[in-house]
Amino acid sequence: MEEQTQSPKRRRLVLVPCPYQGHITPMLQLGTFLHNNGGFSITIAHTRFNSPDPSNYPFFQFLYLDDGIPKHEAIPVDLIAVLLDLNVNCRASFEDQMRRLIGGGGGGAGEEVVAGVIYDEVMYFCEEILSDLKVRSFILRTTCAAASLARMALVRLNDEGYFPLKECMLQNPAPELHPLRFKDLPISLTTGFTKYPTLVKGMYNLETPIKAEAIIWNTMEWLEESIVAQIKSKSTTVPLFFIGPLHRIASARTSVLNEDFNCLQWLDEQANGSVVYVAIGSIASLGEKELGEMAWGLANSQQPFLWVVQPGAVRGSKWIEALPDGFREAVGGRGCVVKWAPQKEVLAHRAVGGFWSHCGWNSSMESLSEGVPMLCSPCFGDQKVNARYLSHVWRVGLQLENGLERGEIENGIKRLMDEEQGREIRDRAKHFKEKIEAHVKVEEDQFSSRTHLKDLVSLLSSF
Ligand code: UDX
Protein backbone atom coordinates (compact mmCIF):
# COMPACT_ATOMS: atom_id res chain seq x y z
CA MET A 1 0.00 0.00 0.00
CA GLU A 2 1.31 3.46 -0.87
CA GLU A 3 2.03 5.62 2.14
CA GLN A 4 0.17 8.98 2.16
CA THR A 5 2.47 11.89 3.09
CA GLN A 6 0.62 14.72 4.75
CA SER A 7 1.71 18.08 3.37
CA PRO A 8 2.46 20.56 6.18
CA LYS A 9 -0.09 23.22 7.06
CA ARG A 10 0.44 26.58 5.38
CA ARG A 11 0.12 29.32 7.92
CA ARG A 12 -1.05 32.88 7.36
CA LEU A 13 -0.50 35.73 9.77
CA VAL A 14 -2.52 38.94 9.64
CA LEU A 15 -0.63 42.06 10.72
CA VAL A 16 -2.47 45.22 11.79
CA PRO A 17 -0.17 48.26 11.96
CA CYS A 18 -1.10 51.63 13.41
CA PRO A 19 -0.96 53.90 10.33
CA TYR A 20 1.93 56.19 11.27
CA GLN A 21 5.47 55.74 10.00
CA GLY A 22 7.02 54.93 13.39
CA HIS A 23 4.51 52.07 13.76
CA ILE A 24 4.21 50.94 10.12
CA THR A 25 7.98 50.42 9.92
CA PRO A 26 8.44 47.84 12.72
CA MET A 27 5.31 45.94 11.68
CA LEU A 28 6.47 45.60 8.06
CA GLN A 29 9.93 44.59 9.28
CA LEU A 30 8.39 41.93 11.51
CA GLY A 31 6.24 40.68 8.61
CA THR A 32 9.29 40.48 6.36
CA PHE A 33 11.21 38.49 8.97
CA LEU A 34 8.36 36.05 9.60
CA HIS A 35 7.81 35.57 5.87
CA ASN A 36 11.50 34.94 5.17
CA ASN A 37 12.30 32.91 8.26
CA GLY A 38 9.13 31.17 9.36
CA GLY A 39 7.65 30.61 5.91
CA PHE A 40 4.44 32.42 6.90
CA SER A 41 2.10 33.99 4.36
CA ILE A 42 1.47 37.57 5.42
CA THR A 43 -1.61 39.75 5.12
CA ILE A 44 -1.30 43.41 6.05
CA ALA A 45 -4.63 44.82 7.26
CA HIS A 46 -4.00 48.53 6.78
CA THR A 47 -6.08 51.66 6.98
CA ARG A 48 -6.63 53.39 3.66
CA PHE A 49 -5.02 56.41 5.33
CA ASN A 50 -1.21 56.51 5.02
CA SER A 51 -0.93 53.08 3.44
CA PRO A 52 2.42 51.96 2.09
CA ASP A 53 2.33 51.18 -1.63
CA PRO A 54 1.41 47.45 -1.90
CA SER A 55 3.40 47.13 -5.14
CA ASN A 56 6.56 47.51 -3.04
CA TYR A 57 5.61 44.34 -1.13
CA PRO A 58 4.66 41.72 -3.71
CA PHE A 59 5.14 38.97 -1.10
CA PHE A 60 2.41 40.45 1.17
CA GLN A 61 -1.32 40.50 0.61
CA PHE A 62 -2.99 43.80 1.55
CA LEU A 63 -6.51 44.35 2.74
CA TYR A 64 -8.00 47.66 3.76
CA LEU A 65 -9.76 49.04 6.82
CA ASP A 66 -12.14 52.01 6.66
CA ASP A 67 -10.65 54.56 9.02
CA GLY A 68 -12.42 57.91 8.54
CA ILE A 69 -9.17 59.91 8.86
CA PRO A 70 -8.93 62.90 6.49
CA LYS A 71 -5.93 62.54 4.15
CA HIS A 72 -4.62 66.03 4.87
CA GLU A 73 -4.04 65.08 8.53
CA ALA A 74 -0.74 63.27 7.79
CA ILE A 75 0.75 65.12 10.78
CA PRO A 76 -2.12 64.98 13.27
CA VAL A 77 -3.15 68.04 15.25
CA ASP A 78 -4.57 65.87 18.04
CA LEU A 79 -2.89 62.47 17.87
CA ILE A 80 -4.67 60.96 20.85
CA ALA A 81 -8.08 61.84 19.37
CA VAL A 82 -7.11 60.22 16.05
CA LEU A 83 -5.90 57.04 17.77
CA LEU A 84 -9.13 56.80 19.76
CA ASP A 85 -11.15 57.34 16.57
CA LEU A 86 -9.21 54.58 14.80
CA ASN A 87 -10.25 52.15 17.51
CA VAL A 88 -13.88 52.91 16.75
CA ASN A 89 -13.85 53.49 13.00
CA CYS A 90 -11.87 50.41 11.92
CA ARG A 91 -13.90 47.82 13.84
CA ALA A 92 -16.59 47.00 11.30
CA SER A 93 -14.31 46.58 8.28
CA PHE A 94 -11.76 44.60 10.31
CA GLU A 95 -14.41 42.17 11.51
CA ASP A 96 -15.80 41.85 8.02
CA GLN A 97 -12.37 41.21 6.47
CA MET A 98 -11.43 38.70 9.17
CA ARG A 99 -14.67 36.74 8.73
CA ARG A 100 -13.97 36.47 5.01
CA LEU A 101 -10.38 35.43 5.59
CA ILE A 102 -11.07 32.68 8.13
CA GLY A 103 -14.10 31.53 6.16
CA GLY A 104 -11.78 30.78 3.21
CA GLY A 105 -9.61 28.03 4.76
CA GLY A 106 -10.64 24.73 6.28
CA GLY A 107 -7.44 24.08 8.20
CA GLY A 108 -6.92 20.58 6.86
CA ALA A 109 -3.56 19.22 5.77
CA GLY A 110 -2.17 21.27 2.89
CA GLU A 111 -4.74 24.00 3.38
CA GLU A 112 -3.95 27.45 4.65
CA VAL A 113 -4.91 28.40 8.20
CA VAL A 114 -4.90 31.80 9.85
CA ALA A 115 -2.43 31.08 12.64
CA GLY A 116 -3.06 34.43 14.27
CA VAL A 117 -3.22 38.20 14.11
CA ILE A 118 -0.41 40.46 15.27
CA TYR A 119 -1.78 43.91 16.02
CA ASP A 120 -0.03 47.12 17.05
CA GLU A 121 -0.75 47.89 20.71
CA VAL A 122 -2.48 51.09 19.62
CA MET A 123 -5.00 49.11 17.51
CA TYR A 124 -6.38 47.36 20.59
CA PHE A 125 -9.92 47.25 19.15
CA CYS A 126 -8.80 44.04 17.37
CA GLU A 127 -8.73 42.03 20.60
CA GLU A 128 -12.46 41.78 21.23
CA ILE A 129 -13.23 40.92 17.62
CA LEU A 130 -10.54 38.24 17.50
CA SER A 131 -11.70 36.77 20.76
CA ASP A 132 -15.28 36.52 19.39
CA LEU A 133 -13.98 34.95 16.19
CA LYS A 134 -11.70 32.60 18.17
CA VAL A 135 -8.61 33.77 16.31
CA ARG A 136 -5.32 33.91 18.23
CA SER A 137 -3.93 37.38 18.84
CA PHE A 138 -0.46 38.78 19.49
CA ILE A 139 0.42 42.34 20.50
CA LEU A 140 3.34 44.28 19.01
CA ARG A 141 4.69 47.07 21.19
CA THR A 142 6.75 49.59 19.21
CA THR A 143 8.21 51.55 22.12
CA CYS A 144 10.94 50.65 24.57
CA ALA A 145 9.95 48.75 27.70
CA ALA A 146 10.72 51.76 29.92
CA ALA A 147 8.21 53.88 28.01
CA SER A 148 5.55 51.20 28.36
CA LEU A 149 6.16 50.96 32.09
CA ALA A 150 5.91 54.73 32.41
CA ARG A 151 2.64 54.81 30.44
CA MET A 152 1.17 52.07 32.60
CA ALA A 153 2.09 54.11 35.68
CA LEU A 154 0.22 57.21 34.45
CA VAL A 155 -3.15 55.92 35.57
CA ARG A 156 -1.78 55.25 39.07
CA LEU A 157 -0.17 58.71 39.24
CA ASN A 158 -3.42 60.27 38.09
CA ASP A 159 -5.34 58.41 40.81
CA GLU A 160 -2.78 59.68 43.31
CA GLY A 161 -3.65 63.23 42.28
CA TYR A 162 -0.45 64.32 40.49
CA PHE A 163 -2.20 65.61 37.32
CA PRO A 164 -2.52 68.24 35.99
CA LEU A 165 1.17 68.70 36.66
CA LYS A 166 2.28 71.77 38.51
CA GLU A 167 5.23 73.65 37.00
CA CYS A 168 7.18 73.35 40.26
CA MET A 169 6.97 69.52 40.12
CA LEU A 170 8.57 69.05 36.71
CA GLN A 171 12.13 68.43 37.90
CA ASN A 172 11.04 66.10 40.75
CA PRO A 173 11.58 62.35 40.44
CA ALA A 174 8.48 60.46 39.29
CA PRO A 175 7.58 57.94 42.05
CA GLU A 176 8.69 54.35 41.30
CA LEU A 177 9.95 55.33 37.85
CA HIS A 178 13.62 56.13 38.48
CA PRO A 179 15.42 57.80 36.64
CA LEU A 180 12.40 59.60 35.16
CA ARG A 181 11.38 63.02 36.39
CA PHE A 182 7.81 64.28 36.02
CA LYS A 183 8.93 66.25 32.96
CA ASP A 184 9.99 62.98 31.29
CA LEU A 185 6.59 61.32 31.62
CA PRO A 186 4.95 60.36 28.32
CA ILE A 187 2.02 62.76 28.54
CA SER A 188 1.41 66.23 27.26
CA LEU A 189 2.06 68.74 30.00
CA THR A 190 -0.17 71.28 28.32
CA THR A 191 -3.27 69.25 27.47
CA GLY A 192 -3.08 67.22 30.68
CA PHE A 193 -4.66 63.86 31.24
CA THR A 194 -8.12 63.92 29.72
CA LYS A 195 -8.40 61.53 26.74
CA TYR A 196 -5.18 59.68 27.49
CA PRO A 197 -6.45 57.28 30.20
CA THR A 198 -8.83 55.60 27.73
CA LEU A 199 -5.98 55.00 25.29
CA VAL A 200 -3.53 53.78 27.93
CA LYS A 201 -6.09 51.44 29.50
CA GLY A 202 -6.85 49.96 26.08
CA MET A 203 -3.22 49.58 25.06
CA TYR A 204 -2.07 47.93 28.26
CA ASN A 205 -5.18 45.93 29.23
CA LEU A 206 -5.29 47.77 32.52
CA GLU A 207 -8.91 46.89 33.16
CA THR A 208 -9.33 43.62 31.30
CA PRO A 209 -7.27 40.42 31.40
CA ILE A 210 -4.81 40.04 28.52
CA LYS A 211 -6.26 37.57 26.03
CA ALA A 212 -3.33 37.72 23.61
CA GLU A 213 -1.11 34.64 23.27
CA ALA A 214 2.05 36.74 23.55
CA ILE A 215 3.45 40.26 23.56
CA ILE A 216 6.22 41.11 21.12
CA TRP A 217 8.48 44.07 21.84
CA ASN A 218 10.70 45.97 19.44
CA THR A 219 13.43 46.40 22.04
CA MET A 220 16.26 44.38 23.52
CA GLU A 221 16.03 42.52 26.83
CA TRP A 222 19.76 42.96 27.48
CA LEU A 223 19.38 46.73 27.05
CA GLU A 224 16.46 47.08 29.45
CA GLU A 225 17.10 44.17 31.78
CA SER A 226 15.79 45.69 35.02
CA ILE A 227 12.69 47.22 33.37
CA VAL A 228 11.94 43.93 31.63
CA ALA A 229 12.23 42.14 34.98
CA GLN A 230 9.60 44.51 36.42
CA ILE A 231 7.29 43.97 33.45
CA LYS A 232 7.72 40.20 33.65
CA SER A 233 6.79 40.25 37.31
CA LYS A 234 3.51 41.98 36.38
CA SER A 235 2.53 39.68 33.50
CA THR A 236 3.59 36.24 34.55
CA THR A 237 1.29 34.24 32.30
CA VAL A 238 1.81 35.84 28.90
CA PRO A 239 5.03 35.01 27.02
CA LEU A 240 7.06 38.12 26.18
CA PHE A 241 9.43 38.34 23.21
CA PHE A 242 12.04 41.09 22.96
CA ILE A 243 13.15 40.99 19.36
CA GLY A 244 14.59 44.41 18.54
CA PRO A 245 15.96 46.27 16.84
CA LEU A 246 13.74 45.04 14.02
CA HIS A 247 15.51 47.10 11.35
CA ARG A 248 18.59 44.94 11.99
CA ILE A 249 16.53 41.74 11.84
CA ALA A 250 14.84 42.31 8.49
CA SER A 251 15.86 44.74 5.79
CA ALA A 252 12.69 46.13 4.26
CA ARG A 253 12.07 49.53 2.64
CA THR A 254 9.19 50.80 4.72
CA SER A 255 9.01 54.53 4.07
CA VAL A 256 5.59 55.92 3.20
CA LEU A 257 7.18 59.17 1.95
CA ASN A 258 9.65 59.45 -0.93
CA GLU A 259 13.20 59.44 0.36
CA ASP A 260 15.61 61.97 -1.15
CA PHE A 261 18.67 59.89 -2.00
CA ASN A 262 20.54 62.94 -3.36
CA CYS A 263 21.48 63.85 0.18
CA LEU A 264 23.79 60.80 0.26
CA GLN A 265 25.85 62.44 -2.51
CA TRP A 266 26.02 65.62 -0.46
CA LEU A 267 27.24 63.51 2.48
CA ASP A 268 29.92 61.93 0.25
CA GLU A 269 31.49 65.38 -0.06
CA GLN A 270 31.75 65.94 3.72
CA ALA A 271 34.60 64.97 6.04
CA ASN A 272 34.38 61.84 8.21
CA GLY A 273 32.22 62.24 11.31
CA SER A 274 31.68 65.96 10.66
CA VAL A 275 27.94 66.15 9.87
CA VAL A 276 25.07 66.60 12.32
CA TYR A 277 21.98 64.83 11.02
CA VAL A 278 18.75 66.52 12.21
CA ALA A 279 15.29 64.91 12.10
CA ILE A 280 12.20 64.93 14.29
CA GLY A 281 10.43 61.82 12.99
CA SER A 282 7.15 61.61 11.15
CA ILE A 283 4.45 63.16 13.37
CA ALA A 284 6.04 65.96 15.38
CA SER A 285 5.51 69.55 14.32
CA LEU A 286 7.19 72.89 15.05
CA GLY A 287 6.13 76.51 15.39
CA GLU A 288 7.87 79.17 13.28
CA LYS A 289 9.75 80.44 16.31
CA GLU A 290 11.13 76.96 17.06
CA LEU A 291 12.18 76.56 13.43
CA GLY A 292 14.08 79.85 13.70
CA GLU A 293 15.83 78.77 16.92
CA MET A 294 16.84 75.46 15.32
CA ALA A 295 18.12 77.26 12.23
CA TRP A 296 20.28 79.73 14.17
CA GLY A 297 21.52 77.03 16.54
CA LEU A 298 22.71 75.05 13.52
CA ALA A 299 24.15 78.09 11.75
CA ASN A 300 26.04 79.30 14.83
CA SER A 301 27.48 75.84 15.61
CA GLN A 302 29.59 76.14 12.42
CA GLN A 303 29.11 72.39 11.92
CA PRO A 304 27.94 70.88 8.58
CA PHE A 305 24.36 69.59 8.86
CA LEU A 306 21.76 67.57 7.00
CA TRP A 307 18.31 68.64 8.14
CA VAL A 308 15.00 66.89 7.42
CA VAL A 309 11.97 69.18 7.44
CA GLN A 310 8.91 67.21 6.44
CA PRO A 311 6.37 69.21 4.40
CA GLY A 312 3.66 70.36 6.80
CA ALA A 313 5.86 69.90 9.89
CA VAL A 314 6.16 73.67 10.38
CA ARG A 315 2.72 74.78 11.47
CA GLY A 316 1.20 77.26 9.03
CA SER A 317 3.83 76.60 6.31
CA LYS A 318 3.99 74.30 3.33
CA TRP A 319 7.68 73.57 3.81
CA ILE A 320 10.58 75.87 4.82
CA GLU A 321 9.23 79.29 3.77
CA ALA A 322 9.50 80.36 7.41
CA LEU A 323 13.30 79.90 7.62
CA PRO A 324 14.70 83.17 8.99
CA ASP A 325 16.15 85.86 6.72
CA GLY A 326 19.91 85.55 6.43
CA PHE A 327 20.00 81.87 7.40
CA ARG A 328 20.73 80.53 3.90
CA GLU A 329 23.52 83.07 3.37
CA ALA A 330 24.98 82.27 6.80
CA VAL A 331 25.28 78.52 6.15
CA GLY A 332 25.90 78.39 2.36
CA GLY A 333 26.97 74.88 1.26
CA ARG A 334 27.54 73.80 4.87
CA GLY A 335 23.88 72.84 5.21
CA CYS A 336 21.56 70.59 3.25
CA VAL A 337 17.79 70.62 3.90
CA VAL A 338 15.59 67.82 2.53
CA LYS A 339 11.93 66.83 2.81
CA TRP A 340 12.58 63.22 3.79
CA ALA A 341 15.83 61.25 3.97
CA PRO A 342 16.80 57.59 3.71
CA GLN A 343 17.52 57.75 7.45
CA LYS A 344 19.13 54.37 7.97
CA GLU A 345 21.60 54.98 5.12
CA VAL A 346 22.27 58.48 6.43
CA LEU A 347 23.07 57.22 9.92
CA ALA A 348 25.34 54.54 8.45
CA HIS A 349 27.25 57.12 6.36
CA ARG A 350 30.87 57.73 7.41
CA ALA A 351 30.33 61.52 7.32
CA VAL A 352 27.64 61.54 10.01
CA GLY A 353 29.05 62.18 13.48
CA GLY A 354 25.94 63.04 15.48
CA PHE A 355 22.14 62.80 15.36
CA TRP A 356 20.06 65.66 16.72
CA SER A 357 16.81 63.79 17.18
CA HIS A 358 13.34 63.91 18.69
CA CYS A 359 14.24 60.46 20.07
CA GLY A 360 11.42 58.42 18.55
CA TRP A 361 12.11 54.80 19.41
CA ASN A 362 12.91 53.72 15.84
CA SER A 363 15.28 56.65 15.38
CA SER A 364 16.92 55.91 18.73
CA MET A 365 17.57 52.27 17.84
CA GLU A 366 18.74 53.19 14.35
CA SER A 367 21.25 55.60 15.88
CA LEU A 368 22.41 53.14 18.56
CA SER A 369 22.86 50.46 15.87
CA GLU A 370 25.20 52.71 13.90
CA GLY A 371 27.09 53.94 16.95
CA VAL A 372 26.02 57.56 16.32
CA PRO A 373 25.82 59.72 19.48
CA MET A 374 22.72 61.87 19.92
CA LEU A 375 21.57 65.32 20.81
CA CYS A 376 18.18 64.66 22.35
CA SER A 377 15.24 67.03 22.06
CA PRO A 378 12.06 65.03 22.59
CA CYS A 379 8.78 66.51 21.35
CA PHE A 380 6.13 64.44 23.12
CA GLY A 381 5.02 61.04 24.41
CA ASP A 382 7.49 58.17 24.71
CA GLN A 383 10.21 60.35 23.13
CA LYS A 384 10.68 62.03 26.52
CA VAL A 385 11.32 58.70 28.24
CA ASN A 386 13.69 57.62 25.46
CA ALA A 387 15.63 60.89 25.71
CA ARG A 388 16.11 60.44 29.46
CA TYR A 389 17.38 56.88 29.03
CA LEU A 390 19.63 57.80 26.09
CA SER A 391 21.22 60.68 28.00
CA HIS A 392 21.23 59.42 31.61
CA VAL A 393 21.18 55.62 31.57
CA TRP A 394 22.85 54.51 28.36
CA ARG A 395 24.74 57.84 28.22
CA VAL A 396 25.02 58.01 24.45
CA GLY A 397 23.34 61.40 24.17
CA LEU A 398 23.12 64.93 25.54
CA GLN A 399 19.67 66.26 26.29
CA LEU A 400 18.53 69.79 25.48
CA GLU A 401 16.65 70.48 28.69
CA ASN A 402 15.02 73.81 27.89
CA GLY A 403 13.16 73.26 24.66
CA LEU A 404 14.56 74.75 21.48
CA GLU A 405 16.79 77.71 22.25
CA ARG A 406 19.59 78.72 19.84
CA GLY A 407 22.35 79.15 22.46
CA GLU A 408 21.71 75.78 24.09
CA ILE A 409 21.50 74.11 20.66
CA GLU A 410 24.80 75.64 19.54
CA ASN A 411 26.55 74.52 22.75
CA GLY A 412 24.99 71.06 22.57
CA ILE A 413 26.17 70.53 19.01
CA LYS A 414 29.67 71.78 19.83
CA ARG A 415 29.97 69.51 22.87
CA LEU A 416 28.67 66.48 21.00
CA MET A 417 30.86 66.96 17.92
CA ASP A 418 34.04 68.18 19.62
CA GLU A 419 36.77 65.59 19.41
CA GLU A 420 37.67 65.80 23.10
CA GLN A 421 34.35 66.70 24.77
CA GLY A 422 32.32 64.19 22.76
CA ARG A 423 34.82 61.34 23.06
CA GLU A 424 33.23 59.40 25.94
CA ILE A 425 29.75 59.58 24.46
CA ARG A 426 31.08 58.54 21.07
CA ASP A 427 32.97 55.59 22.57
CA ARG A 428 29.86 54.39 24.41
CA ALA A 429 27.77 54.72 21.23
CA LYS A 430 30.32 52.56 19.37
CA HIS A 431 30.13 49.98 22.14
CA PHE A 432 26.32 49.77 21.71
CA LYS A 433 26.73 49.27 17.99
CA GLU A 434 29.00 46.27 18.64
CA LYS A 435 26.64 44.81 21.25
CA ILE A 436 23.62 45.13 19.00
CA GLU A 437 25.50 43.51 16.15
CA ALA A 438 26.42 40.54 18.33
CA HIS A 439 22.95 40.05 19.80
CA VAL A 440 21.06 40.15 16.50
CA LYS A 441 23.44 37.76 14.78
CA VAL A 442 23.77 34.93 17.25
CA GLU A 443 21.92 33.45 20.18
CA GLU A 444 24.43 34.92 22.65
CA ASP A 445 22.28 34.05 25.67
CA GLN A 446 18.63 33.99 26.73
CA PHE A 447 18.55 37.81 26.50
CA SER A 448 19.55 37.90 22.82
CA SER A 449 17.01 39.10 20.30
CA ARG A 450 18.03 36.15 18.13
CA THR A 451 17.03 33.73 20.91
CA HIS A 452 13.68 35.49 21.36
CA LEU A 453 13.06 35.39 17.58
CA LYS A 454 13.72 31.67 17.43
CA ASP A 455 11.26 31.09 20.28
CA LEU A 456 8.66 33.36 18.67
CA VAL A 457 8.83 31.49 15.35
CA SER A 458 8.46 28.16 17.18
CA LEU A 459 5.40 29.42 19.03
CA LEU A 460 3.74 30.80 15.89
CA SER A 461 4.52 27.59 14.00
CA SER A 462 2.83 25.50 16.68
CA PHE A 463 -0.66 26.83 15.83
C1 UDX B 1 6.41 57.71 16.88
C2 UDX B 1 7.12 57.79 18.25
O3 UDX B 1 7.83 58.96 18.39
C4 UDX B 1 7.98 56.57 18.46
O5 UDX B 1 8.73 56.68 19.63
C6 UDX B 1 7.06 55.41 18.50
O7 UDX B 1 7.76 54.25 18.80
C8 UDX B 1 6.36 55.30 17.16
O9 UDX B 1 5.65 56.49 16.87
P10 UDX B 1 8.04 58.85 15.05
O11 UDX B 1 7.85 60.10 15.81
O12 UDX B 1 7.73 58.87 13.63
O13 UDX B 1 7.27 57.64 15.75
O14 UDX B 1 9.59 58.49 15.26
P15 UDX B 1 10.42 57.19 15.05
O16 UDX B 1 9.99 56.09 15.94
O17 UDX B 1 11.83 57.61 15.20
O18 UDX B 1 10.13 56.73 13.57
C19 UDX B 1 10.44 57.50 12.45
C20 UDX B 1 10.89 56.59 11.34
O21 UDX B 1 10.92 57.37 10.15
C22 UDX B 1 12.28 56.01 11.54
O23 UDX B 1 12.30 54.65 11.22
C24 UDX B 1 13.14 56.79 10.55
O25 UDX B 1 14.19 56.03 9.98
C26 UDX B 1 12.15 57.19 9.49
N27 UDX B 1 12.56 58.45 8.85
C28 UDX B 1 12.56 59.62 9.53
C29 UDX B 1 12.97 58.39 7.53
O30 UDX B 1 13.00 57.32 6.92
N31 UDX B 1 13.35 59.55 6.94
C32 UDX B 1 13.34 60.74 7.57
O33 UDX B 1 13.69 61.74 6.94
C34 UDX B 1 12.93 60.79 8.92
- Burial of residue 10 (CB within 10 Å: 0-12, 13-18, 19+) is middle
Instruction: Answer yes or no: is 3 within a domain.
Output: no
Residue 399 backbone class (left: φ over 0; alpha: ψ -120 to 50; beta: rest): beta
Does pLDDT of 2 surpass 50?
Answer: no
**Mean pLDDT for the stretch of residues 46-55:** 95
- Residue minimizing CA distance to atom 4 of ligand 1: 360
Residue 249 is predicted with a pLDDT of 95
Tell whether 418 and 453 lie within a shared domain: no
Q: 356 C-alpha vs ligand 1 centroid, how far in Å?
A: 13
Sign of the Cα pseudo-torsion (386, 392, 394, 398, in order): positive
- The interface pTM score, or ipTM, of the predicted complex is 0.99
Which atom of ligand 1 has the smallest separation from the CA of 380? 3
Q: Does 300 lie in the same domain as 242?
A: no
Same-domain status, 328 and 283? yes
Sign of the C-alpha dihedral computed for residues 220, 221, 226 and 228 taken in this order: positive
The number of the ligand 1 atom at minimal distance from the alpha carbon of 361 is: 5
Atom of ligand 1 nearest to the CA of 254: 30
Q: Is the predicted pLDDT of residue 6 greater than 70, yes or no?
A: no
Give the pLDDT confidence score for residue 192 in this predicted structure.
61
190 & 334 share domain: no
382, 143 Cβ separation under 8 angstroms: yes
- Please give the residue range of the domain that contains residue 343: 262-438
Q: Fill in the amino acid letter for 383.
A: Q
pLDDT digits (tens, 9 = 90+) for 299-313: 999 999 999 999 999
Q: What residues form DSSP beta bridges with 116? A: 13
Distance (Å) from CA 77 to ligand 1 centroid: 17
446: buried, middle or exposed (CB in 10 Å: 19+, 13-18, 0-12)? exposed
Specify which residues 45 forms β-bridges with.
63
Q: What is the mean pLDDT of residues 252-281?
A: 97
Predicted confidence at residue 33, as pLDDT, reads 97
Atom nearest to 366 CA in ligand 1? 25
Q: What angle do CA 356, 250, 235 make, to 5 degrees?
A: 85
Residues 183 and 288 in one domain: no
pLDDT at 189 over 80: no
Q: Indicate whether 238 and 269 sit together in one domain.
A: no
Domain-embedded: residue 1: no
Query: What is the domain count for the chain?
Result: 2
Residue 143 alpha carbon, nearest atom of ligand 1: 7
Identify whether residues 434 and 452 lie together within a single domain: no
Mean pLDDT of 258-273: 98
Q: Is 47 in the pocket of ligand 1 (CB under 6 A)?
A: no
Residues 179 and 127 in one domain: yes
Q: Is residue 4 part of a domain?
A: no
Quick: pLDDT tens for 155-185: 899 889 888 888 899 999 999 999 999 999 9
pLDDT greater than 70 at residue 191: no
Whether 361 is in the pocket of ligand 1, judged by its Cβ within 6 Å, is yes
Residue nearest to atom 2 of ligand 1 (CA): 360
For 313, the enclosing helix (H) or strand (E) is none
146 closest CA partner among 122, 180, 172: 180
Q: Output the average pLDDT for the chain.
A: 93
Q: What is the mean pLDDT of residues 381-396?
A: 98
Tell me if 121 CB under 6 Å of ligand 1: no
CATH number of the domain to which 135 belongs? 3.40.50.2000
| Together in a domain, 170 and 185 | yes
Could you tell me if residue 39 is inside a domain? yes
Span from the CA of 8 to the centroid of ligand 1 (angstroms): 39
Q: Is 148 in the pocket of ligand 1 (CB under 6 A)?
A: no
pLDDT at 403: 94
In this structure, is residue 387 part of a structural domain?
A: yes
Q: Would you state the pLDDT for residue 196?
A: 85
- Give the model's pLDDT for residue 1: 47
What is the arithmetic mean of pLDDT over 395-420?
97
pLDDT for residue 188 = 78
Both 276 and 188 in a single domain? Answer: no
Classified as helix, coil or strand, 239 is coil
User: Looking at residues 339-358, what average pLDDT do you find?
Assistant: 98
Q: What's the pLDDT tens digit per position in 86-120?
A: 999 999 999 999 999 998 655 555 689 999 999 99
Give the closest residue (by CA) to ligand 1 atom 34.
281
What residue owns the CA closest to ligand 1's atom 28? 281
Of the chain, the percentage scoring pLDDT greater than 90 comes to: 84
Q: Are residues 309 and 215 in the same domain?
A: no
Helix-strand-coil split of the chain, %, nearest 5: 40, 15, 45
Nearest ligand 1 atom to alpha carbon 21:
12
Instruction: Give the pLDDT confidence of 220-236 residue by residue, as tens digits.
Output: 999 999 999 999 988 76
Per-residue confidence band for 239, with pLDDT thresholds at 50, 70 and 90:
very high
Cβ of 298 below 6 Å from ligand 1: no
Pocket test of ligand 1: the residue of 343, 362, 376 to mutate, having most ligand atoms within 8 Å of its CB, is 362
Residue 2 lies in a domain: no
DSSP 263-302: HHHHHHTSPTT-EEEEE-TTT--B-HHHHHHHHHHHHHHT
| Residue pair 395/428 in contact by the 8 Å Cβ criterion | yes
Cβ contacts of 61 within 8 Å, gap of 6 or more: 41, 42, 43, 44
Mind listing the pLDDT tens digit for each residue in 200-213?
999 998 888 889 99
Position 22 pLDDT exceeds 50: yes
Q: Measuring from atom 30 of ligand 1, which residue has the nearest CA?
A: 343
Residues 234 and 108 in one domain: yes
> pLDDT value at position 5?
55
- 125 part of a folded domain: yes
Decide: 383 in ligand 1 pocket, CB within 6 A: yes
Q: Confirm or reject: Cβ of 363 under 6 Å from ligand 1.
A: yes
Q: Which of 20, 21, 82, 259 maximizes ligand 1 atoms within 8 Å of its Cβ, making it the mutation to test the pocket? A: 21
Could you tell me if the CB of 277 is within 6 A of ligand 1?
A: no
Ligand 1 atom with the smallest distance to the CA of 381 is 3
Q: pLDDT band for position 457 (50/70/90)? A: very high
